[in-house]
A and B are shown apart, each in its own frame.
Chain A
């Protein structure tokens, strides 16, 4: 790519467009936002194509000294690459999703979204600790505004709750970061990832970061902001929230907690596994009894994110890769599910499940998309959800069979609540005349859902495209974690094999008295 600062360009395009949007007419803002996000998507694809798999760990590096040791340093590895690609992929779809449903303050809305995109890319590309912190925390602001201004009836409560929760963790994280810089003398993230902090200090550093990431993830029991935020957020807000913002927690774990504090990570292994197990069972059961579609999907997100945290802390390659695929898959699938809700919300203006029914009669195309994403959420093989779930749980199994058993019950509960939702929305009689009169997908909605569907199937059938760029980075992380790797609970112990196969019987008389069997010795 020569010297073209592609990452800076990806930050600059939305910034310029965001400012422009503030001064443009409604339609001008829409088109500007769409073009800008499409340009960024093109840049993202360019980034992916030019990423040298198996090359240097950090690529597209840019570094500029600013003041007082504070650096503007960007660069990505495979993990960051995939998350950036996910972000830029979802952005144009979000703009399209808001095309007709947002009618007030369109310019400001688009600006907030574009600013959001800048911050998301920034989080994944930052190589300087404080630069990361700024992007990470500033991400709150546009989302806070999106919920608080363009949200539903109870938006103020939801946005405050969102803010209060996330703020709690950030303060602790900042203190920890200051200490780390003081101790190591650098703000460079790649250097810090190799730095060995004293084991004692790791414990509280880990906890400080954990406070922030656990809320972002969100892990049980600090998840209660998510259902409210989702319910109140406009459709596109939910897509970005579920699709990308939740991934920042997982990214934080994989970029900071695990490589920087491996000993502490092992020490808190059971905290993570315990909370993950609790989350899967509890939030899945809660999802079963929801009447609000968005709340149901929000709770299912918590359960899926619990698979991510468990996979990350499995301390092996399957777990880590599974967790990463789960983040990508969940970003696509839950985003798509929120879009599916948005499609019918735009028509009927209610999220109440019981107001729908029999939609596969009047909206057959919609029903097919909704079914596909439902199945991907359940983790049907052939969709991205399966690869994600399977690899993560496979990884966790090497640590603990008990944890895996509890986490895997999620596949039963997940099927129950998603199919129950699908049945009430798409199957049955058409109970309500207004729901029965809703038209099927229009072209704009096809353009939103089609690419996600393709990506979900692609990731399910040939996940290699997504695993390959991350493989080396995850292997490096795995190697760094090896020293703290917990012993599995399997304790396989070889003993002499059994003499005969299970259904061995003495060969009958006409074969003589021979003791040879065809069984194995």
Chain B
């Protein structure tokens, strides 16, 4: 039996058993079996991955069960293991196992723990099905499966209206992307007669010049197919236009945000583009769009991230922005580099989220950074973990020595390759990416300074007020309100420690394999050798660009939040409308509400009250009933009993009949 079967199906088994047991057994039962299953999956995944790094493992497809067979269309349940899958396997199982462990502490007091752990394991199963898919439909199965788990976990605290709204929003917005994905699958089958990924990738180049009609437009076949599939990726990976669900998804418990909305599910879109990279390489227009959307998202989300107060929302926008980097890296053809950033980002972003969770945990569920401050000394271990995460995401490192934290390696490679690609969209992506790197550094340090430096501002928080039973006025000078933040339990600190190691070393250790090694990737992605050469030959200034803006962002944040804390207020007063625009996330939610949500309900009511009731029923069945009633009246009058009138009618009828026949 191939270990992949255990890796994928153990979490499912644990989810079913744990979920059905629910409260029938003590919570520790479900917690143990789900966490145990994940650690086994993780332990089995790393040897596979390291085997690919060392070049000792061959790609393989493990068949499971026939799924659908209809005419010439057929697809099966099967598990594909190649380099690309192996990368995702370690990311998913590692982060998931650590998040399971972390949740022992974080969810300690929740009465619904079995349900939570069962959902987490269910999610992991679906995500593993997604990355092991050998055909587009199984990928879609995983795609929707993670969507379901995400829906359930965002809405985990289902008593909260905001959590419910966020859960539905996530599902429905993702479905907009799925519309594209499904049409893409249909189109792919129409063109290639198969949904098997290897067969499509092999046949794609032949069709690169062909034309097809889609919704009345005459288009290049591969471009339209890839654009449709990419719309699916945009939904899942929260790219500009379909991103609105991700910040709201922070309504879910923080471990969920770390696992689903940072490290794994949201990267599914990037994974999809990389998995289909030989297909996307036949579609220059589609790739141009990927680059453009990625670059636009990366700058958009970074600008919004600079203004948010909720610690989780800052990290959420940061995730959105980092996903943009991955997309434009893929768009310019550096799929290995995109996957590299996906890999490092999984560690440091999960770390940042879990660190934020630890802060929230210690601050009695307060998430607003305005009420933090001075936590460095109180929760030192969390502080250091967050520090590692921040150093990694901002990309701290020494260019000349090529040593640095995880994000340093992957982000630099992305910016360099975007520049080296030499096209206009590549240039656009490079400049947007560089500016976003400045903002990344700024908002990351802003988060750190607001949270860990300065004076405590805790008593302003309602959560803290409830805990210490004091109002700010009663607390007086003591802005802590007498509240004592305490460090999180060991079960939460271990994951922080392990992920810190990842944030420090993942870039340095795996740089060569991910970026430079065509052998490592094998045939699992499209590997563009000359492009990587160009990357290494990028101008010196380009190589230093990321470091320069990183330092600049740090300095600005230091001035604004340490040196002179009145600067942000003055800035906002000066640029009120700009700040409002950013703070309100470019008004996307308001726009969508106005254009889609409200009209949908309004039109629905019109169709119902005016259409069904007012027209169809009125002139249909009710009208028929009315006609019958009136008809009865007429019939009554006609049956007058006078022979002459009967004779007249008979005569008229006869004349009419004869006329009819003669004509």
Contacts and interface: CB of A to CB of B under 8 A. Distances in A.
Interface of A: 160-161, 164-165, 221-222, 224-225, 227, 282, 285-290, 316-318, 321-322, 358, 360-361, 364, 375, 380-382, 386-387, 390-391, 393-394, 397-398, 401-402, 404-405, 408-409, 411-413, 415-416, 419-420, 423, 426-429, 461-464, 467, 475, 478, 488-498, 501-503, 505-508, 510-511, 517-520
A288 B190 contact: no
A241 B201 CA distance: 46
A79 to B, nearest CB: 14
A461 B178 contact: no
B182 A321 contact: no
B379 interface: no
B176 A412 contact: yes
B282 A502 contact: yes
A408 B179 contact: yes
A341 to B, nearest CB: 19
Contact of A282 (B69, B190, B221, B607): B607
A427 B171 CA distance: 16
B171 A415 contact: yes
A286 B211 contact: no
Given A397-B186, A415-B172, A495-B209, A505 B531 contact: yes
B105 interface: no
B154 to A, nearest CB: 11
Contacts of A285: 600, 603-604, 607
Interface residues of B, number: 88
B421 interface: yes
A221 B608 CA distance: 12
B221 A497 contact: no
Contact of A289 (B287, B531, B605, B624): B605
Given A493-B210, A495-B211, A505-B531, A317 B71 contact: yes
27 contacts: A160-B621, A164-B621, A224-B613, A285-B604, A286-B608, A288-B601, A289-B608, A317-B72, A380-B144, A381-B141, A381-B144, A391-B68, A394-B186, A397-B186, A415-B172, A415-B175, A420-B168, A427-B164, A461-B77, A463-B68, A489-B213, A490-B214, A491-B212, A497-B208, A507-B530, A508-B530, A519-B205
B588 interface: no
Contacts of B611: 282, 286
Nearest to B423: A503
B384 interface: no
A275 to B, nearest CB: 13
A51 to B, nearest CB: 18
B183 A518 contact: no
A517 B333 CA distance: 14
Interface stretch (B155-163, B246-254, B398-406, B647-655): B155-163
A286 to B, nearest CB: 4
A454 B71 CA distance: 26
Given A165-B621, A391-B70, A416-B172, A488 B190 contact: yes
B70 A321 contact: yes
A428 B158 contact: yes
A366 to B, nearest CB: 13
Contact of A492 (B69, B179, B221): B221
Interface in B208-242: 208-216, 221
B416 to A, nearest CB: 14
Contact of B600 (A321, A416, A463, A464): A416
Interface string B181-193: 0110111011100
A498 B66 contact: no
B186 A404 contact: yes
A399 B93 CA distance: 43
A428 B161 contact: yes
Given A381-B141, A497-B205, A511 B608 contact: no
A495 B213 contact: no
Given A419-B172, A508-B537, A497 B179 contact: no
Contact of A503 (B159, B172, B287): B287
Contact of B621 (A225, A318, A420, A510): A225
Contacts of A221: 616, 620
A419 B155 CA distance: 11
Given A394-B189, A415-B171, A503-B531, A364 B22 contact: yes
A358 B159 contact: yes
Given A224-B617, A380-B144, A493-B210, A502 B70 contact: no
A494 to B, nearest CB: 5
A286 B221 contact: no
Contact of B212 (A413, A492, A507): A492
Contacts of A505: 421-422, 528, 530-531, 534
A502 B71 contact: no
Contacts of B617: 224
Given A387-B68, A428-B164, A288 B213 contact: no
A493 to B, nearest CB: 5
B566 to A, nearest CB: 43
A288 B67 contact: no
Interface in B377-414: none
B601 A289 contact: yes
Contacts of B183: 397, 401, 404-405, 408
Contacts of B164: 423, 427-428
A462 B66 CA distance: 7
A392 B418 CA distance: 42
B662 interface: no
Contacts of B215: 401-402, 405
Given A288-B604, A390-B182, A498 B282 contact: yes
Contact of B216 (A402, A416, A517): A402
Given A288-B601, A391-B68, A501 B526 contact: yes
Contacts of B65: 461-462
B281 A401 contact: no
Nearest to A495: B209
A520 B202 CA distance: 10
B214 A401 contact: yes
A493 B158 CA distance: 52
B284 interface: yes
B185 to A, nearest CB: 8
B70 A497 contact: no
Interface in B487-546: 526-531, 533-534, 537
B61 interface: no
A95 to B, nearest CB: 28
Given A285-B600, A428-B161, 10 more contacts: A380-B144, A390-B68, A397-B189, A412-B175, A427-B159, A493-B212, A494-B209, A494-B210, A497-B205, A501-B281
A279 B2 CA distance: 48
Contact of A288 (B155, B280, B421, B600): B600
B140 to A, nearest CB: 6
B57 interface: no
A415 B158 CA distance: 18
A423 B528 contact: no
B562 interface: no
B578 interface: no
B421 A286 contact: no
Contacts of A227: 612
Contacts of A489: 213, 216
A322 B70 contact: yes
Contacts of B530: 505-508, 511, 517
B311 interface: no
Nearest to A464: B66
Contacts of B148: 375, 380
A381 B121 CA distance: 18
Contacts of A475: 71
Residue with the highest number of chain B CB atoms closer than 10 Å, among A394, A428, A475: A394
Given A286-B607, A428-B161, A508-B537, A382 B141 contact: yes
Given A225-B621, A381-B140, A497 B68 contact: no
B556 interface: no
A163 to B, nearest CB: 10
